[in-house]
């Protein structure tokens, strides 16, 4: 992998990640952009103990442009985009409309490929490995920023999820605090450690799932399963079998095997609703919308979580869709949105069975 860092016309950082070491990246951003001005503000909620990012400047962000005006495609001739070069393998740049900025953290965009009509599932294993290396490198770099306490790499896919740009891409949020969801995990981790005299909750969960009926696929270094209390109709958790706190700690064997495992999972998600033949799905059915979310240990202090250290946390990826059956979405209505009590219409055991049925031939 070759990494090349440069600056866009408005001062934002852009980084190319290339498969070839001899690739030269010297294209200049020719757009007449003014310096980016953001109004991000973190406001703590005194009742819930969490925080809200208020970012009114995001109202003006690009919204569903036609393919020939996509800002994530490479620059071609006089069609100027966020990527100055005429091609790229993987590219990461600071978001032009960030939810977090400055003392409030940082937001980045990750373009998985220059092919506008592709998807992550369509990448080669070599390309997927390069994305993994980009995620890992950005985790390292962002974790050293003074304002950053937790790094979150994720992909939103599909208009149903709220994606406003069709180009295959993900994002990285660098938060100035430990996120509420991670804090819940850490509290459960601390309670289990205390109750068992030092046991690890993540290890116990993985051991239980591997012995049960909700395993979707298992390899030498990775395990994917539908969790016992899945919140979403089709939800898979992917764990490295050797517990590590973050992407930085993955060993070479796990890194090498990851593309094969992850691409298979994504391709199965695309088959869930189409009868398992790998086709285009029901008539008029768009590809399966999903969120893919990496959970990493925070880099900040953990004193409030009694007895827990970073190494107790288990890196894992959660992949889920909001589609519950063909043509129907799972909406977060009163119980979910009002009280955070999820109601799942698909039994996790049935979801796991379905995801096994649609395995690649």
Angstrom distance (rounded) from CA 311 to CA 297 = 8
Q: Could you identify the residue written with the tokens 């086709």?
A: 279
Helix, strand, or coil (residue 350): helix
Q: Which of the following is catalytic: 116, 144, 169, 221? A: 169
Tokens of 212: 């049960």
Give the closest residue to 356 by CA, choosing from 296, 289, 271.
271
Q: Give just the sign of the alpha carbon dihedral 110, 115, 121, 123.
A: negative
Q: Phi and psi (nearest 5°) for 291?
A: -120, 130
Tokens of 89: 């393998």
Q: Phi and psi (nearest 5°) for 354?
A: -65, -40
Tokens of 37: 């001005």
Say if strands 215-218 and 169-175 run parallel, antiparallel, or are unpaired: unpaired
Task: Report yes or no: 171 and 109 within 8 Å, Cβ to Cβ.
Answer: yes
Angstrom distance (rounded) from CA 330 to CA 338 = 15
DSSP string, 229-240: T-SSSEEEEEEE
For the question of residue 237 being annotated catalytic, the response is: no
Q: H/E element holding 155?
A: strand 150-157
Angstrom distance (rounded) from CA 112 to CA 119 = 8
* Active-site residue list: 169
């Amino acid at each position: 992998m070759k990494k090349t860092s440069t600056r866009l016309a408005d001062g934002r950082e852009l980084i190319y990640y290339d498969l070839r070491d001899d690739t030269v990246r010297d294209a200049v951003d020719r757009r007449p952009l003014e310096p980016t001005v953001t109004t991000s503000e973190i406001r703590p909620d005194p009742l819930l103990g969490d925080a809200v990012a208020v970012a009114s400047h995001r109202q003006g962000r690009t919204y569903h442009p036609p393919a020939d005006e996509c800002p994530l495609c490479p620059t071609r001739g006089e069609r100027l985009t966020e990527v100055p070069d005429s091609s790229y393998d993987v590219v990461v740049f600071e978001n032009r409309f960030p939810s977090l900025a400055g003392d409030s953290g940082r937001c980045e965009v990750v373009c998985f490929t220059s092919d506008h009509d592709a998807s992550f599932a369509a990448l080669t294993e070599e390309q997927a490995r390069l994305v993994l290396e980009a995620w890992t490198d950005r985790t390292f770099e962002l974790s050293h920023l003074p304002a950053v306490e937790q790094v979150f790499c994720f992909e939103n896919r599909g208009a149903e999820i709220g994606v406003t740009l069709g180009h295959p891409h993900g994002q990285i949020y660098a938060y100035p605090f430990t996120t509420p969801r991670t804090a819940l995990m850490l509290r459960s981790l601390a309670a289990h450690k205390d109750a068992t005299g030092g046991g690890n909750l993540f290890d116990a969960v993985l051991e239980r799932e591997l012995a049960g009926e909700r395993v979707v696929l298992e390899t030498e270094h990775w395990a994917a399963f539908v969790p016992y209390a899945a919140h979403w109709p089709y939800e898979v958790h992917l764990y490295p079998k050797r517990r590590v706190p973050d992407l930085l700690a993955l060993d070479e064997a796990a890194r090498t095997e990851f593309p094969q495992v992850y691409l298979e999972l994504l391709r199965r998600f695309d088959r869930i609703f189409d009868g398992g033949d790998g086709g285009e799905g029901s008539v008029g059915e768009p590809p399966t919308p999903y969120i893919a979310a990496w959970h990493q240990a925070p880099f900040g202090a953990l004193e409030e979580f009694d007895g827990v250290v970073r190494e107790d946390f288990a890196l894992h990826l959660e992949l889920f869709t909001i589609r519950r059956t063909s043509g129907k979405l799972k909406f977060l209505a009163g119980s979910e949105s009002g009280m955070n009590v999820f109601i799942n219409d698909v039994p996790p055991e049935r979801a796991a069975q379905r995801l096994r049925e649609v395995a690649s031939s």
